[in-house]
Amino acid sequence: MRVGNARRCIVLLLVWLIAPAPALAQDGELPRPRATGTERAGDIPAYVARTVAADAPDWLRIGAEVRARFEDRAGLQQDPIEPGRTSAGLTRTRLFAGFGRAQGPVRFAVEAQDSRQLGLRDPPELLTINEADLLQARLTVDLDALAAVPIAVDLGRISFDGIDRRLIARNRNRNTANAFDGARIRVGGDRAAFGLEGLALWPTEPREERLDPVGPGQRLLGLIGRIRRPGVVVEPYYLHFDAERDGPRRLHTTGVRLFGPLAARWDHDVHLSAQVGTTDGRRHRALALHAQVGRRWENAWAPRLAGWLNYASGDSDPLDARHGRFDALFGSSHALFGLTDLLSWENTVTPAAGLTFSPSAAVDVALAHRLVWLASALDAFAGGGVRDPTGRSGAFVGQELDIRVQWEMFPAAALDVQYGRLFAGGFLERAGHRGGARTFFVALTTKLP
């Protein structure tokens, strides 16, 4: 599908959706995303579970979370200094304090993060180490009294999830997280038939031992809509991103995501995105798609079986005047594209199947199997940086098997064990990576009770 056709499809869908929608019942259940990794974080982080001051329980919220993780990687993710395999211990500490009543006109929140690596890796990775940094310093002003609909304005440093986390994400698994300086305006409440979110943000750049500054020459502007109809939630959006360094980019990303139930116990989640602009002086035209269908069973283990397709265009020729590789901006990849962290929404055709279930109230298990092709055999494989500019190595990257077990041992402690294995296909074998790649994580997370 060409970019122009994809954009016309998006516009036609939005015209249909603008038709009058009935108000949502206050006591009805809203559709919620069931696809793994797409649930958005709220303004109050999940680890914040305690209020302080008995006489004013709503004006102060505090929380603390410490995660210690051992990781072992082999294959394409190997350390260049210690080739073949790398292991490390990682720690991540987050502290949160929120001031102001939940329904008050003004609230302030501060979230600090300290990310460290215990082990030899030289040079250190910026996405792993970020000591004593501010993840959030956010002033929220509610303008409900001045408008007919709820309006909230966030100012300062914020870290949040947007849409389905494929383009804007507050990272979960990574030892650090994306953050932005700027403003976010949200119009419409959680149960309103229509909502709108405006963004004027400047991404921060990680610094190991000092506060992260705003990246020079970078800017993210956007509008994200939310249309709730009976049985479906639709999120159209437009994002404009400028970056002046490391390959100047000026990208316009337009898309729509919709999710909800299909029938009894069936659900769907679809996201279509078209991207135009310029990348490093070349004309940029790219497409991306995610389509998923799942089915749940109502029994003690609550299993859900799903099948999905991830597609993102690649660049067919690095020397011509056109750039076709989709840019995932500030999206997450781990839970959405695989536990090896080698796949992302770039140059990929990945059909997959997954099964999630809960053997007990405290244990969640997720299994996934993915077949991976390159959208363009001439472009690089996203995570490994492997490329055959002749295209003779073919497009079949291989198969990935993922297993994840999460166990809430106590209300304030949880264990997370993950294993991902990428089995090499013809593309990797011909490029000299017959062993594929393997990742193993085990993490213990504790928080204030």
One-character DSSP codes across 341-369: S---SSSEEEEEEEEEEEEETTEEEEEEE
Q: How far is CA 195 from the centre of its chain?
A: 21
What is the rounded CA–CA span in Å between residue 56 and residue 403? Answer: 44
Q: How far is residue 82's CA from residue 301's CA, in Å, rounded to a whole number? A: 43
Q: What is the pLDDT of residues 142-183, one digit of tens each?
A: 987 677 788 999 999 999 999 999 999 999 999 999 999 999
Average pLDDT over residues 84-97: 87
The amino acid occupying position 141 is: V
Domain count, the chain: 1
Task: Calculate the average pLDDT of the chain.
Answer: 87
The answer to whether the CB of 204 falls within 8 A of the CB of 215 is yes
| pLDDT one-digit tens code per residue, 182-226 | 999 999 877 788 999 999 999 998 887 788 888 888 999 999 999
Q: Mean of the pLDDT values across residues 126-133?
A: 83
3-class secondary structure, 121: coil
pLDDT digits 0-9 by tens, 33-42: 889 899 999 8
Q: What is the pTM of this model?
A: 0.89
- CATH number of the domain residue 60 falls in: 2.40.160.100
- pLDDT surpasses 50 at 20: no
Asked whether residue 121 carries a pLDDT value surpassing 70, the answer given is no
Query: pLDDT by residue (tens digit) across 335-384?
Result: 899 999 999 999 999 999 999 999 999 999 999 999 999 999 999 997 66
- Residue at 365 is within a domain: yes
Per-residue pLDDT averaged across 235-250, rounded? 91
If DSSP codes are grouped into helix, strand and coil, which group holds residue 182?
strand
* CA distance to 36, 37, 179, per residue, from 171 (Å): 14, 10, 10
> Is residue 265 domain-resident?
yes
Q: What share of the chain in percent tops pLDDT 70?
A: 87
Beta-strand runs (E) in 192-297:
194-203, 218-229, 232-243, 249-263, 266-279, 282-296
Rounded to a whole number, what is the distance in angstroms from the first to the last CA of the chain? Answer: 51
Residue 83 has pLDDT above 70, yes or no: no
User: Which long-range CB contacts under 8 A does 78-86 form with residues at least 24 apart?
Assistant: 79/121, 81/120, 81/121, 81/122, 82/120, 82/121, 86/121
Report the pLDDT averaged over residues 315-337: 91
pLDDT band for position 431 (cuts 50, 70, 90): confident
What Rg value do the Cα atoms of the chain yield, rounded?
Answer: 22
pLDDT given at position 118? 84
Residue 365's domain comprises 3-19+29-447
* Arithmetic mean of pLDDT, 40-61: 74
Q: Do the domain assignments include residue 14?
A: yes
Name 178's Cβ contacts closer than 8 Å, sequence gap at least 6.
159, 168, 169, 170, 171, 203, 204, 330
Per-residue pLDDT tens digits for 251-293:
999 999 999 998 889 999 999 999 999 999 899 999 999 999 9
pLDDT at 6: 54
At a CB cut-off of 8 Å and minimum separation 6, what does 269 contact?
33, 34, 35, 38, 164, 257, 258, 259, 290, 291, 292, 294, 308
Q: Is residue 24 part of a domain?
A: no
